[in-house]
Amino acid sequence: MLILNKPMGTDIPSSQITPEAIYQERRLFFKSLGIAAGSMAFLAATARQSLAGMTALPDFMRANNHLSDALTPFKHITSYNNYYEFGTSKSDPAEYAHTLKTDPWSITIEGEVAKPITLSLDDILKLAPLEERIYRLRCVEGWSMVVPWVGIPLSALLKKANPNGNAKYVELISVQRPSEMVGQRSNILDWPYNEGLRLDEAMHPLTIMAVGLYGKVLPNQNGAPIRLVVPWKYGFKSAKAIVKIKLTEKMPVTSWMKANSNEYGFYANVNPEVDHPRWSQATERGIGDGFLSKRRKTEMFNGYAKEVESLYRGMDLRRYF
């Protein structure tokens, strides 16, 4: 695997990005050999190292993926983004995010924990083997993408701080640097960006902290150096460039709840039966498919109902949206 000594956040020449066809062939090769994800764990354990100065990730365990959809092309994943810290246009993050300095980086975990702790990115990579997770990301605006994320479970970070008996919620806070993030110079949101999960949602094995995609270090416009990915929720729940995690007894009021609580609830579970006040959520379109393409029917919990519906048993999912 190629490792380049180049600072994260700089532009990556297209010649140095693994072509999607080769990436897919490599995945099929491993599958044909019958190599399960668990049997690759020793590679991740021995190859982990700091992401500073790298464009390629250390070795990671391959995904056991149940999605039949094709992966969204790298160029679409990295050029069409919601990331208001760099502007409100979908193209703004790709244009302006290179200004964010991502090395060094650390995350502080505090609040209702037995062991408040600050972890460097290198510390975080030692907590669990890197794994590839191919998840669909669904936006409230009606578009979706299928992304081969690489990361570790959020639970690995939380266990390191040992949540106490009062911990019921997890608040995740993004970096605030208006000198490097042009969008933060406006008051479109109450900075810094913050999001929240219930503790059981945060500890769920599908919830990950991503540090890469397509086998490459996470690009700045996608949330480098580390971001949350919760595949059964709308994309705005997945906070980017996280610097602090707080465990709390009370539900945190998140950025979009503060901005417009009538449209953005705390849970943000993908529910096609609950329309956004300004449009239907019943169908979606893949990024890059074109506006004339056939729309896809949106699935409950974004297709992850089997894995997560037990978390919400007995809840009114129209009220708790």
pLDDT at 51: 62
User: Is residue 115 situated within a structural domain?
Assistant: yes
The beta-strand segments (E) located in the chain are 106-111, 117-120, 131-138, 143-153, 169-174, 194-198, 208-213, 216-217, 227-229, 242-248, 283-286, 296-297
Is position 319 within any domain?
Answer: no
Q: Is residue 212 part of a domain?
A: yes
CATH number for the domain harbouring residue 41? 3.90.420.10
Predicted pLDDT at 53: 56
Sign of the four-CA dihedral 287, 216, 59, 117: negative
Mean pLDDT of the chain: 86
Q: What is the pLDDT of residues 87-99, one digit of tens each?
A: 999 999 999 999 9
211 falls within a domain: yes
Residue 226, domain member (yes or no): yes
Cβ proximity of 154 and 208 under 8 Å:
yes
246 to each of 54, 117, 156, how far by Cα in Å? 29, 11, 15
Is 9 domain-assigned?
A: no
Give the pLDDT score at 39. 36
For 20-78, write each residue's pLDDT tens digit: 665 565 554 444 434 344 434 333 333 334 565 556 687 788 776 667 788 999 999 99
Residue 164: predicted pLDDT: 98
Q: Is 270 inside any structural domain?
A: yes
In this prediction, the residues of the chain whose per-residue pLDDT falls under 50 are 1-18, 28-49
Is 272 inside a domain boundary? Answer: yes
* Number of domains observed in the structure of the chain: 1
Q: Which domain holds residue 139?
A: 14-312
What pLDDT, on a 0 to 100 scale, did the predictor assign at position 43? 34
